[in-house]
Amino acid sequence: MKGGSVNVLRGRQLPLTLMAFVCTTILIFVWEKTPGVPSSSRLEMLSPELLSSKAPFINSETHTSVAEGEEEEITVKEKLESPSPWDITSAVSEKPKDRNSNNSSTAAREELITQSRKINEACNYGKGKWVPDKSRPLYSGFTCKQWLSAMWACRLTQRLDFTYESYRWQPDSCDMPNFDGSKFLTRMKHKTIAMVGDSLGRQQFQSLMCMVTGGEERPDVEDVGWEYGLVVPPGGKRPDGWAYRFPATNTTILYYWSASLCAVEPLNASDPNTEYAMHLDRPAQFLSRYLDRFDVLVLNTGHHWNRGKLRANRWIMYVDGKPNTRKNLADMGSAKNLTVHSVVKWLDLQLPHHPRLKAFFRTLSPRHFFNGDWNTGGSCDNTIPLAGGNRVVEERSGDVVAESAVKGTRVKLLDITGLSSLRDEGHISRYSIKATEGVQDCLHWCLPGIPDTWNEILFAQL
């Protein structure tokens, strides 16, 4: 009877032990699936071999890669599209336990790629707020004389307040990495960045040159404008643009002046006073000629679409290769709309043939003339930053023409209109070189200044 009792107890101990094992397994499984458990704690459960490889972990909030000795921030998308030997997902899938395990790992990886793309697409850099930042500006207007036009270097004028320099843009839905010139050049190694547009595009170009160099003199940088036909024409005052190459990384940054973005050609090349055909439905010849050499392209247009500029430039609007006869295009807004859509459509059709090219259309840079226009006593004398508010809450861009043109295309929107609209104190104002004539410049910006933020957003989108 005693022995029988022992056997009965032993018989009961077996299922109890089994139940304890099952319960423990379930608890571990539930713990693993619990969102509140820190990802770093879960990493401790990986094999010692994986952890010893100094594998980085992805922070789901900031989307940055963190590894010992590595400071450069990269997006989840970049991480996945450029697998490294430290990629945990790749390491795990190298030795699947069975076919089902391999399929599960592949599916998880594809899901992560999909989610990271959604994060990128959902990131609206144009919605956010301006915040004070004592680390600004990113370069000095005193020292960046090699790249910065004196008429835009407000530190060299009579202006005394520079509080507009000490703000940075903070998007609501995404993190924007701090701009670093060396990181930019490394990321753009063996690449060419082209900015094509009006004088606001030239400001963005000069801003980028100052940002990349830190505003310091760089005698090693090569002037390669001749490679793109950017030389002073016979009898001309300046070239149609500039191109500079950084030898250490073979990075080229260039600007080409094309105020309308459409093809312009003389009607009589032998007549110095000839009029010019302005083809609303054709892109600037510079684009079609050199597009295959670009890796990043930023387009802009806007402030030359008025009758005064047309007369000053002696432009005659052409459509379908002949003078325009469409009454609806007599309106300058409609003409601009046609050109912007035509250029973007043409560029979108070219992109499949240039898979490495990333194309952007930068939205309109706002003017801030109060109590009149540039020639009727208008001014922008405000020196108080963000007097009209510091936040952009709209989901849509303030430039509806550019936004509608890129919709459904491979061309990305570089949306700077809303955030720039809040910064009326950042213009050159009465400190313009034309101040003696009583004309204020409430179109162009002081540098360092607002265009630096445009380049920070461009850097983030790259």
Same domain, 57 and 168: no
Dihedral pair phi/psi, residue 409, rounded to 5°: -110, 175
Which of the listed residues 55, 89, 122 is the one where a domain comes to its end?
122
Band (9; pLDDT cuts 50, 70, 90): very low
Which of the listed residues 65, 98, 122 is the one where a domain comes to its end?
122
Which of the listed residues 122, 140, 175 is the one where a domain comes to its end?
122
Band (29; pLDDT cuts 50, 70, 90): low
Q: Give the whole-angstrom CA distance, residue 159 versus residue 122.
A: 40
With respect to residue 41, please indicate whether it lies within any of the assigned structural domains: no
Residue found by looking up tokens 């820190």 in the block: 38
Same domain, 391 and 333: yes
Question: Given this model, what pLDDT does residue 17 score?
Answer: 54
- For residue 255, the 8-state DSSP code is E
The residue-averaged pLDDT of 283-308 equals 96
Same domain, 140 and 78: no
Instruction: Look at residue 373 and give its three-state secondary structure.
Output: coil
Closest to 146 measured CA to CA, from 54, 60, 59, 219: 219
Using CA atoms, how far residue 381 sits from 307, 364, 387, in Å, is: 27, 22, 12
Closest to 404 measured CA to CA, from 451, 363, 454: 363
Using CA atoms, how far residue 147 sits from 208, 360, 444, in Å, is: 9, 23, 16
How large a percentage of the chain has pLDDT more than 70? Answer: 72
Where helices occur in 242-331 by DSSP H, the ranges are 285-290, 307-313
Mean residue pLDDT of the chain comes to 81
Question: Given this model, what pLDDT does residue 309 score?
Answer: 92
Residue found by looking up tokens 């405000």 in the block: 382
Same domain, 118 and 145: no
Question: Given this model, what pLDDT does residue 205 score?
Answer: 98
Same domain, 104 and 162: no
Question: Given this model, what pLDDT does residue 185 score?
Answer: 97
Question: Given this model, what pLDDT does residue 49 score?
Answer: 35
Same domain, 331 and 191: yes
Q: Which residues of 344-363 are buried (b: 16+ CB within 10 A; e: fewer)?
A: beebbebbeebeebbbbbbb
Instruction: Look at residue 232 and give its three-state secondary structure.
Output: coil
Q: 286 burial class (0-12, 13-18, 19+ CB within 10 angstroms)?
A: buried
Same domain, 291 and 148: yes
Same domain, 315 and 444: yes
Q: Residue 394: give the domain boundaries.
A: 130-461
> Per residue in 344-371, pLDDT tens?
999 999 999 999 999 999 999 999 999 9
With respect to residue 77, please indicate whether it lies within any of the assigned structural domains: yes
> Per residue in 398-454, pLDDT tens?
999 999 999 999 999 999 999 999 999 999 999 876 555 567 899 999 999 999 999
Query: Do the beta carbons of residue 377 and residue 156 sit within 8 Å?
Result: no
With respect to residue 147, please indicate whether it lies within any of the assigned structural domains: yes
> Per residue in 195-234, pLDDT tens?
999 999 999 999 999 999 999 999 999 999 999 999 988 7
Q: What is the CA radius of gyration of the chain?
A: 29
Domain count, the chain: 2
Same domain, 279 and 148: yes
Same domain, 377 and 399: yes
With respect to residue 33, please indicate whether it lies within any of the assigned structural domains: no
Q: Is the pLDDT of residue 388 over 80?
A: yes
With respect to residue 359, please indicate whether it lies within any of the assigned structural domains: yes
Question: Given this model, what pLDDT does residue 44 score?
Answer: 38
Q: Please name the amino acid found at residue 250.
A: N
**Chain mean position to CA 184:** 12
With respect to residue 31, please indicate whether it lies within any of the assigned structural domains: no
With respect to residue 408, please indicate whether it lies within any of the assigned structural domains: yes
Q: 222 burial class (0-12, 13-18, 19+ CB within 10 angstroms)?
A: middle
Q: Give the whole-angstrom CA distance, residue 336 versus residue 304.
A: 9
Same domain, 250 and 387: yes
Band (376; pLDDT cuts 50, 70, 90): confident
Band (106; pLDDT cuts 50, 70, 90): low
Query: Which distant-in-sequence residues (6+ apart) come within 8 Å of 81 by Cβ?
Result: none
Q: Give the whole-angstrom CA distance, residue 102 versus residue 109.
A: 11
With respect to residue 261, please indicate whether it lies within any of the assigned structural domains: yes
Same domain, 111 and 134: no
Question: Given this model, what pLDDT does residue 322 score?
Answer: 95
Per the document, the length of the chain is 462
Question: Given this model, what pLDDT does residue 219 score?
Answer: 96
Question: Given this model, what pLDDT does residue 2 score?
Answer: 46
Where helices occur in 131-191 by DSSP H, the ranges are 181-187
Q: Which two tokens stand for residue 30?
A: 């539930």
Q: Is the pLDDT of residue 183 over 60?
A: yes
Q: Which two tokens stand for residue 94?
A: 């190298």
The residue-averaged pLDDT of 252-265 equals 97
How large a percentage of the chain has pLDDT more than 90? Answer: 65
Band (14; pLDDT cuts 50, 70, 90): very low
